[in-house]
Amino acid sequence: MSGTHRVPGNKNAALPMLAAALLTEKPVVLSNLPLIQDVRTMLALIAGLGARVELDEGAGKVRIEARRLKTTVLDKGLCSRVRGSILFAGALLGRSGGTTLYAPGGDVIGRRRLDTHVEGLRSMGARVRASNKLIFEAKAGLKGAEILLDEASVTATENLLMAASRARGETVIYNAACEPHVQDLCRMLSQMGAEIGGIGTNRLTVKGAEKLEGGEFAVGSDTIDAGSFLVAALVTGGELVLEGVSPEDFRVLERPFKRFGVRWSLNGTRLHVPGKQRLKMMYDLGDAIPKVEDGPWPGFPSDLMSVLIVLATQTRGTALFFEKMFESRMYFVDHLIGMGARIVQCDPHRVVVTGPTQLHAARVTSPDIRAGMSLLIAALCAKGETTILNAESIDRGYAGVEEELRRLGAEMRRM
């Protein structure tokens, strides 16, 4: 697995930025758009509301003009395909005073509660009813409020940011998520006319505007995609250049990857990964087994936990992985164990991995986007031919993954 990989736009930034395009009647243009299945589903939802959507696939750019919306009721089938459909609650409450949507879909990696969204929107004056669908209403408009989130939820923070950008007065959000993609949305809303303070921190202040402007905005770099291709190169001994990375994001990732003996050099937005690295676990003081745990930014991102477990199977030493955020994300390790990995699953949140292990081919099933990509990476360094079922789940987070991996040296095909 060697060559140059151009890192696409961030999936987790693109989805809320697409929803935010509905906050204004003016045209909004988004560039560096990842052409993944979740983005296409969001665009279909937006078009179904009556907005004009013009997608330029070659340029990775979309123009959205929501001058008139024919409905504020989202399509039930499309809602069930993407977790990001919940983001239309804040956008349409701010723009139209209400919306009806159905239970959002997405990966089954644990309970993904909506209470934080609902409580925050209610604080701003919205009425929320839930049965077989979710009905949000704010006929008198939204008003600013002080909101303390009961968890630093990324999508809840994004929903409240969009709602607050069209609310009367000032909204203060405490315990807000501060991930890079949340910061991207803040900067977009600021350029559209909302006044947002505290960007990059867990306390955000938002002064709403009666009307927001349009504009052109670039989706930030996808660090999860970059990290996934980085691990694919490491476990196959390849030399890789990643172009278009976010230097700030990789400074956060540098320490956890160094624990595995990984080396890279960063020059601006270009990251070089030398080939044939000797992967060896760096133990804690006293020769104690190290722990890799995820957490809200700038903690280690949960979306990279699965691929790092695969890296551990090819690294000399032992590590404990502690997944705190989703209680079902670790279940995919059964497939790795079936491929020969030495893994002990302690409970739904913790696994112990000892490497290196020669993995062997197997027939496995992808349970979600990140686990699917992890199984694909495991297959690249396994002996023999591996078959991955439900591979379309990977398409929701990685565009044209088989073409890109083949270009870098993988032998694979889609059936």
**What's the CATH number where 237 sits?**
3.65.10.10
pLDDT per position in the chain (415 positions), as tens?
Answer: 999 999 999 999 999 999 999 999 999 999 999 999 999 999 999 999 999 999 999 999 999 999 999 999 999 999 988 888 999 999 999 999 999 998 886 444 334 578 999 999 999 999 999 888 899 999 889 999 999 999 999 999 999 999 999 999 999 999 999 999 999 999 999 999 999 999 999 999 999 999 999 999 999 999 999 999 999 999 999 999 999 999 999 988 999 999 999 999 999 999 999 999 999 999 999 999 999 999 888 899 999 999 999 999 999 999 999 998 777 788 899 999 999 999 999 998 999 999 999 999 999 999 989 999 999 999 999 999 999 999 999 998 898 899 999 999 999 999 9
For 245, the domain range is 223-407
- 318 in any annotated domain: yes
Residues 6+ apart with CB under 8 A from 148: 174, 175
| 69: nearest Cα among 86, 55, 85, 52 | 52
In this structure, what token pair is assigned to residue 329?
């994300």
Tell whether 256 is covered by a domain: yes
User: Buried b / exposed e across 83-110, counting CB within 10 Å, b at 16+?
Assistant: bbbbbbbbbbbbbbbbbbbbebbbbebb
N-terminal to C-terminal alpha carbon distance within the chain: 22
Which sign does the torsion angle of CA 103, 106, 111, 113 carry? Answer: negative
Q: Name the domain boundary from 197, 218, 239.
A: 218
Report d(CA 78, CA 81) in Å as an integer. 5
413 domain-assigned: no
Same domain, 72 and 184: yes
Rounded-to-integer distance, Cα 7 and Cα 249, Å: 13
Separation CA 93–CA 72 (nearest Å): 9
Same domain? 207 vs 233? no
Q: Is residue 412 part of a domain?
A: no
Residues 213 and 227 in one domain: no
Give yes or no: residues 152 and 266 share one domain.
Answer: no
- With respect to residue 205, please indicate whether it lies within any of the assigned structural domains: yes
Is 89 contained in some domain?
Answer: yes
- In this prediction, residue 107 carries a pLDDT of 43
- Is the dihedral angle over the CA atoms 34, 39, 43, 49 positive or is it negative? negative
Q: Are residues 249 and 307 in the same domain?
A: yes
Shared domain check, 234 and 165: no
Q: Are residues 187 and 331 located together in one domain of the fold? A: no
Residue at which a domain ends, from 166, 196, 218:
218
- The residue type found at 386 is T
Helix (H) or strand (E) holding 38: helix 37-48
List 38, 75, 107, 368, catalytic entry: 107
- Give the H/E segment covering residue 321: strand 317-322
The DSSP secondary structure of 88-134, one letter per residue, reads HHHHHHHHHSEEEE-------SS----HHHHHHHHHTT-EEEESSSE
Distance CA 111, CA 124 (A): 25
CA–CA gap between residue 39 and residue 159 (Å, rounded) = 17
Residue 244 and residue 132 share a domain = no
403, part of any domain: yes
Same domain, 182 and 264: no
Among 173, 203, 218, where does a domain finish?
218
Pair (80, 168) in one structural domain = yes
Residue 414 lies in a domain: no
- Judge whether 60 and 10 are in contact, CB under 8 Å: no
Sheet architecture: strand order including 270-273 = 3-6, 240-243, 270-273, 265-267
d(CA 296, CA 181): 12
pLDDT at site 231: 98
Residues 208 and 320 in one domain: no
Tokens of 213: 């402007």
Q: Collapsing DSSP states into helix, strand and coil, what is residue 343?
A: strand
Nearest to 33 by CA among 56, 61, 63, 64: 61
Whether 289 contacts 353, CB under 8 Å:
no
Q: How many domains does the chain have?
A: 2
| pLDDT the model gives residue 183 | 96
Catalytic: 150?
A: no
